[in-house]
Chains A and B, each alone.
Chain A
Amino acid sequence: MRRAALLALWSHWRRHPLQLATLLAGLALATALWSAVQAINAEARASYARAAAQIGAGGLDRLEAPGGPIPLARYVALRRAGWQLSPVLEGSWRLGERRLRVAGIEPLSHPPLPAFAALAEDATALPQMIAAGGLLLAAPDLAADLATALHEMPGRPQVRASDQVPPGLVLTDIGVAARLLGRPDQIDRMLILPDQPIGLAPLSALAPDLQRLPGRAGSDTARLTDSFHLNLTAFGLLSFAVGLFIVHGTVGLAFEQRRAMIRTLRALGLPMRLLTGLMLAEVMALALLGGLVGLGLGYLVAAALLPDVAATLRGLYGAPVAGGLTLRPAWIGSGLAMALAGTLAASLHALWRAARMPILAAPGLQAWAERAARASRLQALAGLGLIAAGLGALWLIEGLIGGFALLAGLMLGAALLLPPALAALLRLGRRRARGVVAEWLWADMRAQLPGIGLALMALLLALATNIGVGTMVKSFRQTFTGWLDQRLISELYVTATDDDQGAEIARWLAPRVQAVLPIRSVDFTPGGAAAGQTVTVYGVVDDRSYRDHWPLLQTAPRAWDRVMAGEAVFINEQLARRVGIGPGDSLTLAPNWQLPIAGVYSDYGNPTGQAIVAMPSLLAHASAVPNRRFGLRLPAAEVPVLAEALRQRFDLPASALIDNAALKAQSLAIFDKTFVVTGALNLLTLGVAGFAILTSLLTLWSLRLPQIAPVWALGLTRSQLARLEIGRSLLLAALTALLALPLGLLLAWALLAVINVQAFGWQLPMALFPLDWLRLFALALLAAGLAAALPARRLYRLPPSDLLKVFANAR
Chain B
Amino acid sequence: MLLEIDDVTKTYAGASRPVLRGVSLTLAAGQTLALTGESGSGKSTLLHLAGALDRFDGGEIHLSGQPLSGLDDAGRAALRRSHVALVFQQFNLIPSLSVAQNLAFHARLAGRPDRDWIARLTERLGLAELTLRYPEQLSGGQQQRVAIGRALAARPALLLADEPTGNLDETASTAVMDLMLELVRESGTALFLVTHSQAIARRLDRHLHLAGGRVV
Contact = CB atoms under 8 A, between A and B. Distances in A.
The answer to whether any beta carbons of A and B sit under 8 Å apart in the complex is yes
Interface of A: 364-369, 435-437, 439-440, 443-444, 446-447, 706-707, 709-720, 799-801, 804, 806-808, 810
Given A444-B94, A715-B78, A804-B44, 4 more contacts: A707-B96, A714-B86, A801-B13, A804-B48
B93 interface: yes
B145 interface: no
Given A707-B94, A804-B54, A369 B134 contact: yes
B86 A367 contact: no
A254 to B, nearest CB: 22
B48 A714 contact: no
A436 B53 contact: no
A714 B105 contact: yes
A364 B134 CA distance: 13
A138 B185 CA distance: 98
Interface size class of B (residues with CB under 8 A): 35 or more
A810 B97 CA distance: 21
Given A440-B97, A808-B44, A799 B136 contact: no
Contacts of A801: 12-13, 54
Contacts of B136: 364-369
A443 B53 contact: no
Interface string B42-56: 001000100101110
B92 A715 contact: no
B60 to A, nearest CB: 18
Contacts of B44: 804, 808
Interface stretch (B24-32, B106-114, B118-126, B202-210): B106-114
Q: Which 10 A-B pairs have the closest CB atoms?
A: A715-B81, A447-B96, A807-B88, A436-B108, A715-B80, A443-B96, A717-B77, A717-B73, A800-B54, A444-B96
Choose among A439, A706, A711, A713 the residue with the greatest number of B CB atoms under 10 Å from its CB. Answer: A713
B131 interface: no
B41 interface: no
B94 to A, nearest CB: 5
Nearest to B160: A713
Contacts of A799: 13
Contacts of B104: 436
Nearest to B97: A443
A365 B95 CA distance: 11
Contacts of A443: 94, 96-97, 101
16 contacts: A366-B136, A369-B137, A435-B108, A436-B108, A437-B109, A440-B94, A706-B95, A707-B96, A709-B91, A710-B92, A713-B80, A715-B81, A715-B109, A801-B13, A807-B162, A808-B88
B140 to A, nearest CB: 10
Choose among B90, B91, B92, B137 the residue with the greatest number of A CB atoms under 10 Å from its CB. Answer: B91
A112 to B, nearest CB: 74
Contact of B74 (A366, A435, A717): A717
A436 B109 contact: yes
Q: Is the interface of A mostly helix, strand, loop or mixed?
A: helix
Nearest to A369: B134
Contacts of B51: 713
B89 interface: yes
A436 B78 CA distance: 15
Contacts of B89: 807-808
A32 to B, nearest CB: 37
Choose among B74, B82, B93 the residue with the greatest number of A CB atoms under 10 Å from its CB. Answer: B74
A807 B92 contact: yes
A443 B76 CA distance: 25
Interface in B135-149: 136-137
Given A710-B94, A714-B106, A804 B80 contact: no
A799 B76 CA distance: 14
A368 B134 contact: yes
B91 A714 contact: no
Given A800-B54, A801-B54, A716 B77 contact: yes
A710 B93 contact: yes
A806 B13 contact: no
Contacts of B55: 800
A810 B88 CA distance: 12
Nearest to B44: A808
A799 B91 CA distance: 18
Nearest to B111: A436
Given A369-B134, A714-B106, A807-B88, A719 B97 contact: no
A340 B45 CA distance: 50
Nearest to A366: B136
A718 B93 CA distance: 18
B53 A715 contact: no
A720 B101 contact: no
B192 to A, nearest CB: 15
A759 to B, nearest CB: 47
Contacts of B96: 440, 443-444, 446-447, 707
Contacts of A714: 80-81, 86, 105-106, 109
A743 to B, nearest CB: 28
A707 B93 CA distance: 8
A808 B89 CA distance: 7
Contacts of A718: 73
A716 B82 CA distance: 11
A805 to B, nearest CB: 10
Given A716-B77, A719-B73, A440 B105 contact: yes
